[in-house]
Chains A and B, each alone.
Chain A
Amino acid sequence: AQTVTQSQPEMSVQEAETVTLSCTYDTSESDYYLFWYKQPPSRQMILVIRQEAYKQQNATENRFSVNFQKAAKSFSLKISDSQLGDAAMYFCAYRRGTQGGSEKLVFGKGTKLTVNP
């Protein structure tokens, strides 16, 4: 079974600074997808960034980027120029890529990010 581990229950960052959230995962599959989701106090889960395992290039979305280390099974999220609106719970998630079966997401326990003004 696949597992996702987020070792930082809480992180804080000063506004305009950079912060990195860690995630490791365990799988025996070679084809999969990794995600970072943001869950603000409003509870609605929002996709931040996605990485396909077969792609060597790290994904980027504006101020958000990942460091994907496939051999180490590591998938960290870097937030640059942090803004007050970035404060939320961040979840790392895994989804198998093999055709057939459900497209379920396996989530880590989350990291609570606080942004200080």
Chain B
Amino acid sequence: ETGVTQSPTHLIKTRGQQVTLRCSSQSGHNTVSWYQQALGQGPQFIFQYYREEENGRGNFPPRFSGLQFPNYSSELNVNALELDDSALYLCASSMTGFYNEQFFGPGTRLTVL
């Protein structure tokens, strides 16, 4: 069974640029959640996708957007990058249901200069 994978591992961008981060869900999972973890902080919920539809969003501006594909993989897109967007971005997949664990990927470290 393949776990949650994310690409790339590290990324350096400059302010104002756009970035796309990718996540492959664990086999059999239909829900993907994205979190932003700033240095020294706990993860903050960005949004969640269930069956290709956004299913909840945290307190993030519209320049943070996402997609979920029919194979349940997902992308996080961030436009007009700001210095404060520098963080570890975590993807988690799960099967919808309140007893089901969210399995996390290793994250993408984004640095905005």
Contact = CB atoms under 8 A, between A and B. Distances in A.
Contact of A105 (B43, B47, B88): B43
A107 B37 CA distance: 10
B contact face: mostly helix, strand, loop, or mixed: strand
Given A33-B98, A99-B98, A102-B56, A107 B106 contact: no
Contacts of B98: 33, 95, 97, 99, 103
Contacts of A110: 41-42
B107 A47 contact: no
A contact face: mostly helix, strand, loop, or mixed: loop
A91 interface: yes
Contacts, number: 65
B102 A44 contact: no
Interface residues of B, number: 27
B90 A45 contact: yes
Interface centre among A46, A93, A97, A105 (most CB of B within 10 A): A105
B102 A105 contact: yes
B12 to A, nearest CB: 17
Interface string B36-64: 00001111110110000001111000000
A38 to B, nearest CB: 11
Contacts of A62: none
Interface centre among A4, A46, A103 (most CB of B within 10 A): A103
B104 interface: yes
Contacts of B106: 42-44
Closest 7 CB pairs of A and B: A102-B56, A107-B42, A45-B104, A104-B45, A102-B48, A44-B106, A43-B107
21 contacts: A4-B42, A6-B42, A44-B105, A44-B107, A45-B104, A50-B101, A91-B43, A93-B42, A97-B98, A101-B56, A102-B45, A102-B55, A103-B102, A104-B48, A104-B56, A105-B33, A105-B35, A105-B92, A106-B45, A107-B35, A110-B41
